[in-house]
Structure 1
């Protein structure tokens, strides 16, 4: 291991991964709040935790070291000392809408009264108004948000650790996310990288930080090889953010030489590239047939660095041809979700049938509820490890979404 982050493929043997065990945040809201928090349902927490523990155990049984976001964040704050904790809280409160004022100080004192681990868990779970003996006197709280139950919103999407940051080579992107409901999440990863003894001053490159105006999320970032990454032009990742990270990767000697920008439909059902397309072996990919036009057509741009020092873009609509050229393959196997049946494909894609996590070449972790797609994968020679999924899937994310690989073995 060269650095504490080392990921040069989607399929190399997974050695270290970061997860977030679902906590109070996944049910600490009402149906009326679901659009605001980007959720379609409210999971039953005890079962969601059992399912997540089964997922973590499946990884450990396959010799993967499992780290937890909530523990790493608390350890980083403790390692940084009081000044780091104070700066973290000031930033978190500012991004929660309290940059200054009486409520800023009340919330800060309340959170500082806890242990660091309790404080991190409370921020993730959200701070309800009835927890504090405080009546706001400002007009907004008194007149406009009187009935809203939270001072600080919960972060139910946190168990999808893939999105706030993405490991790329010996570094990562720490992401400016699209919607306000998720934008605070990447502050935890920034704190871990800067202050946790496992990561701070260990040669970890930050290819792009969270202090940007253009949006990108880890579910759209796929490391196809040690020289090629694919990024989805999606509901959650903009084209100008892709150009920006491409420039940074090329300029900073990351080792990456090509960025494939793949345009997918911009909607909630297909919010990230990895919900419709994942790499699972050296020459095998899952793909939701709904993103492909006739003959496997989809807009794809190959981005390289031109001789003039500017980005060079080459457009193609044949995804299979683009992948073969970029990865130097004679042929490849695009495996359709649901076996290509339109009804089954849409149903299982909604439950993340395409969101497979490769833990070694040809070995994937999937949700057990996507039994048709899982059988198709087995028929294509894959080893499929199924994990429980009745409650976790309500968050609209699968095994790849729920995991941030930190270290993979090189192919």
Structure 2
């Protein structure tokens, strides 16, 4: 299947931003998996955070169908690799991203210089592919120096970025500001440099102000849920630290983007690496949640001190709790009850569908969500609760442990 066309990239004054998880989705940022997935082998897939070696052609077919399902429902789809190629035509962006790609102590001075020279000679489209797919030892035919000579043929001078597929993690919009996140795992650090360069240099995002940066405490977009206008939930666990949650809260408060941040501890396990792997919003007052945590998930409620104007001023934030997450969320959202859709799953089925990202849905509008087709019991429960489910295949895409929400960064949503 041919990927959907990229949207025009010359619009100098786009409308951007999101204040909820379920406002009608207008524009989304995706990344179609490519040659970077072909770099995965049984020898390196664990290090590169995949649970297997995906069938790349099928993964691309599945992703193309995902993008087409969004486009069919009126969502503008932006492709990250195409935006990257656009900005790599600009000298400042080229220099910035090449420098980041070779900023690796493994390389040493000689190999760093040779790799930078090789990358600098590439056309924008080829450079975009090399930055994403990586640069293998044998592809750098003019390499020199001790580090180059001692590398195995299959080693990478510039490692690939197979997790770039999960565009939600490296950036998240809070109101009209974009938070470029600080990714915790070494295999993913360069993803934020690519995302940051696109937001900084592409005319599509001219004038957009930054809420967060990769140099700050660890914070990943999969842990950030916009529960309602002014209410943000942040999971802390394997990927996001309490310090990252506090920094985001300070910055959101100082800029008037939130009045309450709920900090939600989650188990530090692969199947629950982000908050959105265990709970996602499917309506303005409803979410789907992994049954095993539904009764135990708690939250600390963080609010701003009076007069906070600078996130760096050290003013003490007001912290209360913990209390059950759904209670704290409802209170912050100003509603009587936050509904948790009862999936009715027995423990074994719940664990299987949790592993397959059954609770990681992407809302296109209130009561309309995209989900992996394989999670049949969860999807049936959603439909019984009045949620229309757009089913997509994900047998190969899911090998990186991410669902439709993980694979999408909403750039524009309508307010509720």
Q: Give the TM bin, normalised by the shorter chain.
A: over 0.9
Q: CA RMSD in A?
A: 1.8
Residues of 2 paired with 1:298 and 1:364: CA distance?
A: 23
Pick the aligned partner of 1:85 from 57, 82, 94: 94
Map Cα deviations across residues 264-313 of structure 1 (whole Å, 9 max, x no partner).
10111110000001111011101102224xxx232310100123842111
Query: Contact conserved, 1:21 with 1:49, CA < 8 A, in 2?
Result: yes
How far the C-alpha of 1:391 sits from its partner, in A, is 0.9
Residues of 1 paired with 2:131 and 2:317: CA distance?
A: 41
Pick the aligned partner of 2:333 from 306, 327, 331: 327
The yes-or-no answer on 1:109 pairing with 2:104 is no
**Would the alpha carbon gap of residues 408 and 377 (structure 1) be closer, same or farther in structure 2, given more than 3 Å must change?**
same
Query: Contact conserved, 2:114 with 2:144, CA < 8 A, in 1?
Result: no
Q: Which residue number in structure 2 is paired with residue 33 of structure 1?
A: 44
**Would the alpha carbon gap of residues 162 and 380 (structure 1) be closer, same or farther in structure 2, given more than 3 Å must change?**
same
Q: Which residue number in structure 1 is paired with residue 127 of structure 2?
A: 119
Mind listing any 5+ residue stretches in structure 2 that lack a counterpart?
1-11, 308-314
Mapping 1:283-362, distance limit 5 Å: 283-292=285-294, 296-307=295-306, 309-336=315-342, 339-362=344-367
Aligned length: 398
Q: Which residue number in structure 2 is paired with residue 128 of structure 1?
A: 136
Residues of 2 paired with 1:54 and 1:281: CA distance?
A: 24
Residues of 1 paired with 2:298 and 2:37: CA distance?
A: 36
Residues of 1 paired with 2:323 and 2:297: CA distance?
A: 5
Q: Which residue number in structure 1 is paired with residue 276 of structure 2?
A: 274
Query: Contact conserved, 1:262 with 1:301, CA < 8 A, in 2?
Result: yes
Map Cα deviations across residues 223-270 of structure 1 (whole Å, 9 max, x no partner).
11121011101200000110011111111232x111011111011111
The yes-or-no answer on 1:383 pairing with 2:388 is yes
Mind listing any 5+ residue stretches in structure 1 that lack a counterpart?
none
Query: Contact conserved, 1:367 with 1:386, CA < 8 A, in 2?
Result: yes
Map Cα deviations across residues 308-360 of structure 1 (whole Å, 9 max, x no partner).
84211111231221121111112232124x52311111101101000000000
Residues of 2 paired with 1:97 and 1:191: CA distance?
A: 24
The yes-or-no answer on 1:227 pairing with 2:227 is no
Map Cα deviations across residues 5-43 of structure 1 (whole Å, 9 max, x no partner).
310100000000000001011121221111211111011
- Normalised by the length of structure 2, the TM-score is 0.92
Residues of 2 paired with 1:21 and 1:169: CA distance?
A: 26
Query: Contact conserved, 1:3 with 1:170, CA < 8 A, in 2?
Result: no
Residues of 1 paired with 2:85 and 2:286: CA distance?
A: 39
Q: Which residue number in structure 2 is paired with residue 242 of structure 1?
A: 245
Q: Which residue number in structure 2 is paired with residue 167 of structure 1?
A: 173
Q: Which residue number in structure 2 is paired with residue 158 of structure 1?
A: 164
- Normalised by the length of structure 1, the TM-score is 0.93
The yes-or-no answer on 1:53 pairing with 2:64 is yes
**Would the alpha carbon gap of residues 3 and 238 (structure 1) be closer, same or farther in structure 2, given more than 3 Å must change?**
farther
**Would the alpha carbon gap of residues 96 and 232 (structure 1) be closer, same or farther in structure 2, given more than 3 Å must change?**
farther
